[in-house]
């Protein structure tokens, strides 16, 4: 599938051209920062990272950098189910980048090591969430190869970044990040991103199981949705883009995203940029952790391996979670006092009426930013009409089938209410936001 851009990405520079660019960037650091912190729709930067040393971190180069250092790889199945393949349902192995490279290229079992039992036709592998500061703790100078300062974040580099190395089909389930906005540099291969605006949250059936701090997952497999169980999903508006090497994707705050590797090998580097709104988000996350841990720990039929994401070390105690919550609320109040702001009232938690989506408003208001070096990621429907893209057309047709998207109440209530169904209601983002507003509006006692 071609990239869903208004302007063809080959205008600056052609993907795979090997052009390392020049010291002259299409945006100054100050302008890039303004865009990152204020643009409310996904966009792709061109020509901003071609000269970074990290842009040459392909798999052969990573083999040289990491040598025999082992990384944990997530192993998933290529089968297409109607249910998301969460990280709790995957296998995990420890292997080197060299062994991964041998496995992807069809090398002999002795070269593939722990990858050898897994058929490449049936499985994919993903080394994800790898913090560069830990990978290169013995060689911190390597972290200087990542230069987020070009986007207006002085001193930010590999120390605050993560590495992602995957094979064809490797994916991250559809989710939103609670904190910050995301900048992603594509280094090798291509990844396809399917993004949904924040206002589509009700149509994506959010869940906190599996639980991971800062990640809210969707129950829907966005590539193969179960429309009977999730009928409202047909109202969601996917924005689709294929990210090429050298390009940097901006994922604004609270945009849902499903990410899939579409080449044999992919390498990406990302960093989450902090936002002022993170203070309140940490309060919401502390409340969520308290509820989830208390609820699931009290269920005798529940095992932590079933509901706790592998990225979380352990289920924390109620007292520990209460301590987290008090720290988060204290930090929030301190930040607001320093900024001369008052705590929000309950009334302020009610959102004003919105006639147009946030993404629609931002496209109108920020259109001056877009051009040959900053490309908006457009909704699928727009690209189908403008480009006749076959892949996105199929997806758009599927979105409109089945008629009325409204759930049938009678159908919903025929099933037995489960423990997880109750928990989903308790930790629904709208409910947690209201609870956080109530807590933060209380006077100090």
Q: Tokens representing 420?
A: 């997880």
Please report the pLDDT score of residue 366 as a whole number. 59
**End-to-end CA separation in angstroms for the chain:** 58
Please report the pLDDT score of residue 293 as a whole number. 94
Among 156, 194, 184, residue whose Cα is nearest residue 248: 184
Among 355, 435, 143, residue whose Cα is nearest residue 269: 143
CB atoms within 10 A of CB 353: 5
The kind and range of the H/E element at 74 are strand 71-77
User: What is the spatial distance between Cα 396 and Cα 234, in angstroms, rounded to a whole number?
Assistant: 9
Strands (E), 108-255: 123-131, 162-167, 171-177, 181-188, 191-196, 206-212, 215-218, 239-243, 248-251
User: What is the spatial distance between Cα 105 and Cα 103, in angstroms, rounded to a whole number?
Assistant: 5
User: What is the spatial distance between Cα 173 and Cα 361, in angstroms, rounded to a whole number?
Assistant: 28
pLDDT at 401 over 50: no
Among 117, 104, 108, 107, residue whose Cα is nearest residue 59: 104
Please state which of the ranges 57-71, 84-98, 311-325 shows the lowest mean pLDDT: 311-325
pLDDT at 390 over 50: no
pLDDT at 344 over 60: no
Q: Are 178 and 164 spatial neighbours (Cβ–Cβ below 8 Å)?
A: no
Beta-carbon contacts of 320 under 8 Å, excluding residues fewer than 6 positions away, are none
User: What is the spatial distance between Cα 201 and Cα 206, in angstroms, rounded to a whole number?
Assistant: 7
Dump pLDDT digits (tens) for 251-308.
999 999 999 999 999 999 999 999 999 999 999 999 999 999 999 988 887 888 889 9
Domains of the chain with bracketed CATH: 9-273 (2.60.120.650), 286-343+414-441 (no CATH)
User: Crossing angle for the helix pair 429-441 and 278-297, nearest 10 degrees?
Assistant: 110
Among 10, 60, 67, 45, residue whose Cα is nearest residue 265: 60
Q: Is 356 helix (H, G, I), strand (E, B) or coil?
A: coil
Dump pLDDT digits (tens) for 127-160.
999 999 999 999 999 999 999 999 999 999 999 9
CB atoms within 10 A of CB 408: 11
Local confidence band at 365 (pLDDT 50, 70, 90 cut-offs)? low
What is the maximum span of the chain, computed from C-alpha positions, in angstroms? 67
Local confidence band at 412 (pLDDT 50, 70, 90 cut-offs)? very low
Please report the pLDDT score of residue 341 as a whole number. 60
DSSP 370: -
pLDDT above 70 as % of the chain: 80
Beta-carbon contacts of 116 under 8 Å, excluding residues fewer than 6 positions away, are 103, 109, 110
Q: Tokens representing 196?
A: 């949904």
Local confidence band at 367 (pLDDT 50, 70, 90 cut-offs)? low
What is the chain's alpha carbon radius of gyration, rounded to the nearest angstrom? 22
DSSP 86: -
């Amino acid at each position: 599938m071609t990239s869903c851009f208004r302007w063809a990405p080959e205008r600056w520079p052609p993907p795979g051209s090997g052009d390392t660019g020049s010291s002259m960037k299409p945006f100054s650091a100050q302008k890039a920062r303004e865009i990152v912190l204020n643009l409310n729709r996904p966009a792709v930067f061109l020509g901003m990272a071609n000269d970074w040393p990290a842009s040459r971190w392909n798999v052969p180069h990573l083999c040289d950098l990491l040598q025999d250092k082992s990384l944990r790889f997530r192993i998933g199945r290529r089968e297409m189910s109607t249910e998301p393949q969460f990280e709790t349902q995957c296998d995990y192995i420890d292997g080197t980048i060299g062994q991964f490279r041998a496995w992807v290229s069809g090398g002999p079992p002795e070269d593939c090591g722990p990858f050898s039992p897994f058929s490449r036709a049936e499985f994919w592998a993903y080394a994800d969430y790898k913090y560069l500061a830990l990978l290169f703790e013995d060689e911190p100078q390597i972290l200087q190869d990542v230069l987020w300062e070009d986007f207006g974040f002085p001193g930010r580099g590999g120390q605050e970044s993560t590495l992602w190395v995957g094979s064809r089909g490797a994916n991250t389930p559809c989710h939103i990040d609670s904190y910050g906005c995301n900048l992603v540099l594509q280094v090798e291969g291509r990844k396809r991103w399917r993004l949904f605006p924040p206002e589509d949250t009700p149509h994506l059936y959010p869940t906190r199981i599996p639980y991971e701090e800062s990640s809210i997952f969707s129950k829907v497999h966005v590539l193969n949705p179960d429309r009977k169980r999730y009928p409202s999903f047909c109202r969601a508006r996917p924005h689709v883009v294929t990210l090429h090497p050298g390009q940097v994707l901006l994922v604004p705050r609270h945009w849902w995203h499903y990410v899939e590797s579409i080449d044999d090998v992919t390498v990406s580097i990302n960093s989450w940029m902090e936002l002022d709104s993170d203070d309140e988000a940490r309060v919401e996350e502390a409340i969520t952790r308290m509820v989830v841990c208390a609820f699931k720990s009290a269920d005798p039929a529940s095992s932590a391996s079933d509901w706790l994401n592998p990225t979380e070390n352990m289920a924390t105690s109620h007292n520990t979670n209460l301590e987290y919550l008090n720290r988060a609320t204290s930090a929030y109040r301190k930040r607001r006092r320093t900024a001369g702001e008052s705590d929000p009232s309950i009334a302020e938690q009610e959102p004003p009426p919105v006639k147009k989506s946030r993404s629609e408003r931002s496209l109108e208001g920020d259109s001056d930013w877009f051009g040959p070096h900053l490309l908006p990621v457009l909704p699928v429907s727009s690209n189908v009409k403008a480009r006749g893209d076959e892949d996105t057309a199929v997806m758009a047709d599927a979105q409109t089938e089945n008629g009325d998207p409204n759930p049938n109440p009678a159908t919903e209530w025929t099933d037995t209410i489960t423990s997880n169904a109750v928990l989903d209601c308790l930790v629904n983002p709208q409910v947690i936001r209201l609870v956080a507003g109530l807590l933060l509006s209380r006077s100090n006692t």
